[in-house]
Structures are given as structure tokens and as C-alpha cells.
Amino acid sequence: MKAVRLVAPTVVEVTDVPVPEIGPGDVLVRVGGAGLCHSDVHAAHMPELPFPTPLTLGHEIAGTVAALGSGVDPAAGIGEGTAVVVHLCWSCGVCRACAAGEDNVCEAAGRMAQPLCPGLGPDGGMAEYVRVPARHVVPIGDLDPVLAAPLADAGMTPMHAIRSAQDRLGSDATALVIGVGGLGHVAVQILRATTAARIVAVDVREDRLEAAVRHGADIALLADEALEAVLGLTAGRGADTVLDFAGSQSSVDLAVEAVAPNGAYRLVGILGGAPRIVAAPSLGTGWPWGASLRRTYGGTRSDLIATVALAQRGRISVDVERYPLTEGPAALARLEAGEVAGRAVLVP
Ligand code: NAD
Ligand code: ZN
Ligand code: ZN
């Protein structure tokens, strides 16, 4: 079969590989759609990787179950032909965190708490088939796998960040969404569908802001005008929730200056920004008393199920650009150049 592979650090190619073998407890998924995440761009540039190559990329996967490994009981609801999306946190299922429903920070993954992720460790879904432990698929009913694939990350990750800030998203709250690309344009829709907060979208590109307004943002601001505008909108207190899908130095600076006292800053993007929070007696500027910061990773199985449910009811929909699998490297280049509107999805 064809697969988009990181054949060595910084080298992405379409190559021929055998269809994966499945073992006990696995399913073989025939890929219907594989989304491209900005994290794939990051992975494609790392000179040293924390996982071995060659590796098939792709952690946003939806498709159809093509075969069951031994011990997978179709009575449990997953059989040949079931349409599924893949939960990207391949966590242990039994540790303290997993038992508490915090399987996105599984303890078996050590202190940094990043469970195995297909496409960033085990082979992923930018291929015709992928091996997945049966425990990590979620049925999608009659959702189109091409539209459902991005729910695995561009949907679930914002869902997790938003749920973790629920107490700062009341009807009198202001939510600032920084970076309304792949993840951010879905975050705006999840906020619209699950909260009554005022939604302020921020980006460095006008076209992203237009899409955010189409998806339910109340106000859209270019990044360089955002701080003054947000403080103006909130009588100087700032945004109760800040969701940062950029994670650059300029976006974390904005978040630190714009988050309200007791507010929630949820940092998702990984562009190298370092939020400056100083423990000193002087009040100074920046981080106010009571505000909290969470560096938020992926989402739980429950978050994915909740995201799929919203999509099935038509309350969220991902803007998708479709590409043949063989155009994976070109689509990755477009994403890096900022040219993808919404999410690029490879269709094998
Ligand atoms: P994307 O390229 O589709 O979207 C990023 C958006 O941010 C773009 O619209 C871009 O114009 C905008 N942007 C960039 N710099 C900005 C700034 N300073 N201020 C405002 N907007 C800015 O990327 P994506 O796939 O949505 O991923 C977003 C980030 O989240 C990436 O860094 C990715 O690696 C990371 N990510 C993290 C997790 C996690 O679990 N923590 C999961 C998925 C993705
Ligand atoms: Zn991702
Ligand atoms: Zn665990």
C-alpha cells in the first residue's frame, strides 16, 4: 500500500509499504481520511526525533474496520465494516489517571505524560490501512470519514481545553481564541455549541478571521490590535478564558497580558513561546492574581465521544480541503505556508 512516511528525520516521502499486520486485540482500519495537523509540520522539521524512523505519519484518522484481531468481540460494537475515528491517546486504560478518566495524561507515559500516539511513534493513518488497538476506536455512525478524521485532534483537543475551563465560560464570560486555524476554527464552534460566552477570535490572517466569524465568533481581531481591544471590551479586566492555538512568544505574551484575574489560560500551540509569570511582591504588569495556566494535551476518550456527538448533530463541522494521499508532502508544505483553510485531509 501507499503511505506518507517520515523516512528519516526531516525527509517526508510517499512510499510503498506492506499492509500492517494486526495482533490480538487490534483492528485493521481501512483509512477513509487522514487529517494533517501542524504538529506533523513540527515533526517533519525535527533534526532528532523521540521515535524511530521510518514512520507513517497521521494521527487524525477515520475509516472503516476491515479486519478484527483475535480476542476482539464484535458484540462489543466494533465489527467489520464499522465506521470509526481513532482516539490518538493510546493510553494504558488501568493507571490512576486512566481510571479517573484522565487518559490523555496516562501515567504509563511517564512524567511528561504523552501516551503513545499513532503517526508520532507507532505507524499512523496517512496510508491505505492502519493497525489500531480496538480499545482506541470510537464509532462515528454515518459521518463521512473525510469530515470526521479531523475530529480526532482539531475537534477533540479544543474540546478538552474548553471542558477544562468550563467554570470560566459562563454567560457573562469572554473567551479569547488565539489562532483560528485547524484547531481554532473548531474551538470557536465548540464554544458556540456548549457555552454562552462571548467569543473573540484572534489571528494574524484576515481570511482566518472571516472564517471564525462565519463559525460563530462575536468579534474578530488581528493579533497586533487584540490586547487593547480585549481590555477595552472587558472594562480592563481581560478574558476569562484564553485558548492559545499558536503558542508563539507573541501569542503567549498576549495571553499573559489579556487573561482576567482568576481566568483560565489554556496553552495548546507549540511554537516555542514561554509565558512569563514572575513571582515577585510588586504587582507590575502581566499575569494577574488567581489566573491559572494549563499546558493542555490532546483529549480524553470522553472528549472524543463528546466531539463526535456534536458533529453528528450538525453543531460543529470542519472546513476540509481534500487531497489524494500521494499529495501528502505537498499538502504539508501548504499547511506550513499557512495556505490551508481549515483542515487538509488526505483521502487514500
Ligand atoms: P494551523 O496552522 O492550522 O493554525 C494555526 C493558526 O494560528 C493559523 O491560522 C495562524 O495564522 C495562526 N497564528 C499563528 N501565529 C499566531 C499569532 N502569533 N497570533 C495569532 N494567530 C496566530 O495549526 P493547527 O493544526 O491548528 O495547530 C495549532 C498548534 O497547536 C500547532 O502548534 C500544533 O502543533 C499544536 N497542537 C497541539 C496539540 C496539543 O495537544 N497540545 C494538539 C494539536 C495541535
Ligand atoms: Zn495534532
Ligand atoms: Zn494509563
CATH number at residue 225: 3.40.50.720
Question: pTM score > 0.75 for this model?
Answer: yes
Which residues have a beta carbon within 5 Å of ligand 2, which is an ion? 37, 39, 153
In the predicted structure, residue 75 carries a pLDDT above the cut 90 = no
Highest mean pLDDT of the ranges 63-77, 125-139, 278-292: 125-139
**Domain identity same for 167 and 229:** yes
Write out the E strands in the chain: 2-8, 11-16, 26-36, 55-56, 60-68, 83-86, 129-133, 137-139, 174-178, 198-203, 219-222, 239-244, 259-267, 292-295, 320-324, 343-347
**Domain identity same for 97 and 228:** no
In the predicted structure, residue 284 carries a pLDDT above the cut 90 = no
Selected residue with higher pLDDT from 128 and 280: 128
For the chain, the domain total comes to: 2
For residues 185 and 156, the answer to whether their CB atoms sit within 8 Å is no
Mean pLDDT within 101-119: 97
User: What is the phi/psi pair of residue 170, to 5°?
Assistant: -70, 180
- Ligand approaching nearest to the C-alpha of 254: 1
- 223 Cα: distance to centroid of ligand 1 (angstroms): 13
**What's the pLDDT at 76?**
84
**What's the pLDDT at 279?**
87
**Domain identity same for 238 and 306:** no
**Domain identity same for 190 and 223:** yes
**Domain identity same for 238 and 107:** no
In one letter, which amino acid is 159?
M
- 94 Cα: distance to centroid of ligand 3 (angstroms): 5
Mean pLDDT within 153-166: 98
User: What is the phi/psi pair of residue 77, to 5°?
Assistant: 105, -5
Order across the sheet with 55-56: list the strands: 11-16, 2-8, 55-56
Binned at pLDDT 50, 70 and 90, residue 177 comes out as very high
Closest by Cα among 116, 225, 133, 244 to 178: 244
Mean pLDDT within 48-66: 97
CATH code, 90: 3.90.180.10
Residue 18, CA distances (Å) to 3, 15, 130, 152, 233 in order: 9, 10, 11, 25, 57
**Domain identity same for 183 and 233:** yes
Write out the E strands in 168-316: 174-178, 198-203, 219-222, 239-244, 259-267, 292-295
Mean pLDDT within 97-101: 98
Q: Which residue, 273, 295, 317, sits at the end of a domain?
A: 295
- 179 Cα: distance to centroid of ligand 1 (angstroms): 6
Atom of ligand 1 nearest to the CA of 338: 2
In the predicted structure, residue 282 carries a pLDDT above the cut 80 = no
**What's the pLDDT at 213?**
98
**Domain identity same for 175 and 253:** yes
332 lines ligand 1 (CB under 6 A): no
**What's the pLDDT at 313?**
98
In the predicted structure, residue 283 carries a pLDDT above the cut 80 = no
**Domain identity same for 17 and 135:** yes
- 7 Cα: distance to centroid of ligand 2 (angstroms): 19
Our CA dihedral for 145, 140, 340, 163, rounded to 10 degrees, sits at -170
Rg (CA), the chain: 20
DSSP conformational letter for 232: H
**Domain identity same for 231 and 257:** yes
- Ligand approaching nearest to the C-alpha of 246: 1
**Domain identity same for 148 and 165:** no
* C-alpha triplet 277, 198, 213: angle, nearest 5°: 105
Mean pLDDT within 175-191: 99
Binned at pLDDT 50, 70 and 90, residue 72 comes out as very high
Question: How much of the chain, in percent, has pLDDT values that exceed 90?
Answer: 97
**Domain identity same for 18 and 95:** yes
Q: Which residue, 269, 295, 321, sits at the end of a domain?
A: 295
Mean pLDDT within 25-42: 98
208 lines ligand 1 (CB under 6 A): yes
**Per-chain mean pLDDT for the chain:** 97
Determine the structural domain holding residue 226 and report its residue range.
Answer: 157-295
Mean pLDDT within 288-299: 97
**Domain identity same for 190 and 317:** no
